[in-house]
Amino acid sequence: MGKPTGFIEYLRELPVDRAPLERLGDWNEFHPHLEEKRLRHQGARCMDCGVPFCQTGKLISGMAAGCPVNNVIPEWNDLVYRGLWREALDRLHMTNNFPEFTGRVCPAPCEGSCVLGINEPPVTIKNIENEIIDRGWDEGWVLPEPPGARTGKKVAVIGSGPAGLAAAQQLNRSGHLVTVLEREDRPGGLLMYGIPNMKLDKKAVVERRLRLLEAEGIKFLCNANVGENVEAQLLLRDFDATVICTGATQPRDLSIAGRDLRGVHFAMEYLTASTRALLNGGADHSPIHARGKDVVVIGGGDTGTDCVGTALRQGCRSITQIEIMARPPVERASDNPWPEWPRVYKMDYGQEEAAARFGDDPRVYLTTVSKFVGDASGNLDSIVTVEVKWQRNDKAALVPVEVPGTEQVRPAQLALLAMGFLGPEQSLLKDIGVACDARSNVQAEYGRYATSVKGVFSAGDCRRGQSLVVWAINEGRGAAAACDRFLSGK
């Protein structure tokens, strides 16, 4: 602990983002860097406490508490305070393959469990993590690490999202020959097409890491859809082991009247189209565009926020975000104590931008959509919403109940369903022959990751259900270790 009184002397400080109205004019990342002196002060705020919940990575009340990849946070905070950036990078890479991803998109459960955060603003862990890895790239410290020798064993990784990339890098560094199969036209999975560019830059950040993985010896096959143009059983025959990391890409639908109208889309369909158009040189040429439209985003969370930010950049006429849950309290409720993830009201980047453009937070709480209404040509024209209240049913489960007389018609020519995901798509899993659990996820015990088919492992959202990028990296690393034990006996 380099500065025993650091948490007393220095206040929590983050760099000031570009102004919302300014950043709406482009698709660039908007988080600037903090100067080194102030960063070192932020590192000094870490108490190096005897019970560092920040790095525990546990599930408490169903939510992440602490860092799921068990980053040794107090150590690299102290190294940053002392100006030892190269050593801090080594500590960071010891547990996290891709800190430039988590440092940008992770909601930072580590900060929610920071001991200092019990009665003071927590340490700026996420920001420090991102500064460490960005400096590492800038200084040329992040270099390919190909294995010293090859085992001759071949491994197929299906899916190139965070779980697949983590598994691939770990297995490759163990000396195995790794091929990653991705059904899209570019590798990266969720990192490439599921997260907008202003949140995670594709060329400067994602493709940079992919080039490094290729330099380490990993082979990427794009447009390779296992079960469609790649036969699953031939894949199992030709490789010594397989790791399934396909994510939980089956979206939750809203089966109400008017669902088949033109203008109603799944959020991921919309975000993917937008990013693909941007990468192909024409952001305005996305086939699903919000320009001049009244846009309604149904659902919250990160995906809902990303839809809000994307629609604003496309020039929507208005934006409304429908949330079925109640508005969270400003401070932790009595049933949400530290070190649980704090369920408190906050405005993410998309809501900040909407408030700057239209004057208020776009979210409407305790509300659901009961009907999509179309025009004579079959295009979405408006939606009907109704307020709800949460009551317990005869099984004591809380369920939403519509409140009579609260119906409201809202204009909408584009509706985006961002209500989460039900699990992995089933066709590939059936072709490979792996067993699934009651929630339709791949059946594989956490820590072992072995499926019902010998030599086939699974990790990430397709195994655990919809979760965080940092959990996907955790599972990719774990599945790689299990696969390596299967292949090499140790």
Q: Is residue 212 part of a domain?
A: yes
State how far the Cα of 79 lies from the Cα of 267, in Å rounded to an integer. 41
Q: Specify the CATH number for the domain of residue 173.
A: 3.50.50.60
The amino acid present at 96, given as its one-letter code, is N
State how far the Cα of 52 lies from the Cα of 329, in Å rounded to an integer. 26
Do residues 260 and 392 both lie within one domain?
yes
Q: Is residue 451 part of a domain?
A: yes
Q: What is the pLDDT of residue 62?
A: 86
Of 364, 389, 419, the residue at which a domain comes to its end is 419
Q: Specify the CATH number for the domain of residue 37.
A: 1.10.1060.10
State how far the Cα of 229 lies from the Cα of 211, in Å rounded to an integer. 25
User: Which residues, 6+ apart, have CB-to-CB distance to 284 below 8 Å?
Assistant: 277, 291, 314
User: Which residues, 6+ apart, have CB-to-CB distance to 466 below 8 Å?
Assistant: 248, 420, 421
Do residues 433 and 465 both lie within one domain?
yes
Q: What is the pLDDT of residue 3?
A: 86
Q: What is the pLDDT of residue 64?
A: 87
Alpha-helix runs per DSSP H in 359-436: 426-432
Whose tokens are 């102004």? That residue is: 19
The amino acid present at 79, given as its one-letter code, is L
Of 139, 162, 181, the residue at which a domain comes to its end is 139
Q: Is residue 177 part of a domain?
A: yes
> Which burial class, exposed, middle or buried, applies to 360 when counting CB atoms under 10 A from its CB (0-12, 13-18, 19+)?
exposed
Residues facing 388 on adjacent strands: 402
Do residues 62 and 95 both lie within one domain?
yes
State how far the Cα of 258 lies from the Cα of 308, in Å rounded to an integer. 22
Closest alpha carbon to 363 in 396, 324, 399, 409: 324
Q: Is residue 149 part of a domain?
A: no
Query: Given its phi and psi angles, is residue 400 left (phi above 0), alpha (psi -120 to 50 degrees) or beta?
Result: beta
Q: What is the pLDDT of residue 51?
A: 87
Of 368, 396, 419, the residue at which a domain comes to its end is 419
State how far the Cα of 293 lies from the Cα of 442, in Å rounded to an integer. 40
Name the 3-class secondary structure at 320. strand
Q: Give yes or no for a contact between 463 and 441, defined as CB atoms under 8 angstroms apart.
A: yes
Residue 320, domain extent: 253-419
CA 417 to chain centre: 17
Q: 439-474 in b/e burial notation, b at 16+ Cβ within 10 A?
A: ebbbbbeeeebbbeeebbbbbbbbbbbbbbbbbbbb
State how far the Cα of 457 lies from the Cα of 443, in Å rounded to an integer. 10
Q: Is residue 391 part of a domain?
A: yes
Q: What is the pLDDT of residue 48?
A: 84
Pairing of strands 177-181, 219-221: parallel
Do residues 304 and 348 both lie within one domain?
yes
Two tokens, residue 306: 């990303």
Do residues 367 and 440 both lie within one domain?
no
Q: What is the pLDDT of residue 63?
A: 86
Nearest 5°: phi and psi at 398? -75, 125
Do residues 410 and 319 both lie within one domain?
yes
Q: Give yes or no for a contact between 192 and 186, defined as CB atoms under 8 angstroms apart.
A: yes
Q: What is the pLDDT of residue 353?
A: 98
C-alpha triplet 330, 332, 333: angle, nearest 5°? 105
DSSP state, residue 326: P
Nearest 5°: phi and psi at 69? -95, 10
Identify each DSSP E strand in 101-240 by its residue range. 154-158, 177-181, 219-221
Q: Is residue 165 part of a domain?
A: yes
DSSP state, residue 379: B
Nearest 5°: phi and psi at 144? -60, 140
Do residues 164 and 278 both lie within one domain?
no
Do residues 352 and 431 both lie within one domain?
no
Do residues 281 and 333 both lie within one domain?
yes
The amino acid present at 103, given as its one-letter code, is G
Q: What is the pLDDT of residue 381?
A: 98
User: Which residues, 6+ apart, have CB-to-CB distance to 274 below 8 Å?
Assistant: 196, 283, 286, 288, 310, 314
Q: Is residue 148 part of a domain?
A: no
Two tokens, residue 487: 């292949």
CA distances from 288 to 30, 262, 263, 279 (A): 24, 10, 8, 15
Q: Is residue 146 part of a domain?
A: no
Residues facing 415 on adjacent strands: 264, 296
Do residues 206 and 294 both lie within one domain?
no
Q: What is the pLDDT of residue 272?
A: 98
Do residues 405 and 263 both lie within one domain?
yes
Two tokens, residue 213: 């993985």
Q: Would you write out the chain's pLDDT as a tens digit for each of its 490 residues?
A: 678 899 999 999 999 999 999 999 999 999 999 999 999 999 999 988 888 999 988 889 888 899 999 999 999 999 999 999 999 999 999 999 999 999 999 999 999 999 999 999 999 999 999 999 999 999 999 999 999 999 999 999 999 999 999 999 999 999 999 999 999 999 999 999 999 999 999 999 999 999 999 999 999 999 999 999 999 999 999 999 999 999 999 999 999 999 999 999 999 999 999 999 999 998 999 999 999 999 999 999 999 999 999 999 999 999 999 999 999 999 999 999 999 999 999 999 999 999 999 999 999 999 999 999 999 999 999 999 999 999 999 999 999 999 999 999 999 999 999 999 999 999 999 999 999 999 999 999 999 999 999 999 999 999 999 999 999 999 999 999 999 999 999 8
Count the domains in the chain: 3
CB count in 10 Å sphere of residue 341: 21
Do residues 224 and 309 both lie within one domain?
no
Two tokens, residue 378: 């079959």
Closest alpha carbon to 263 in 239, 238, 230, 287: 287
CB count in 10 Å sphere of residue 147: 15
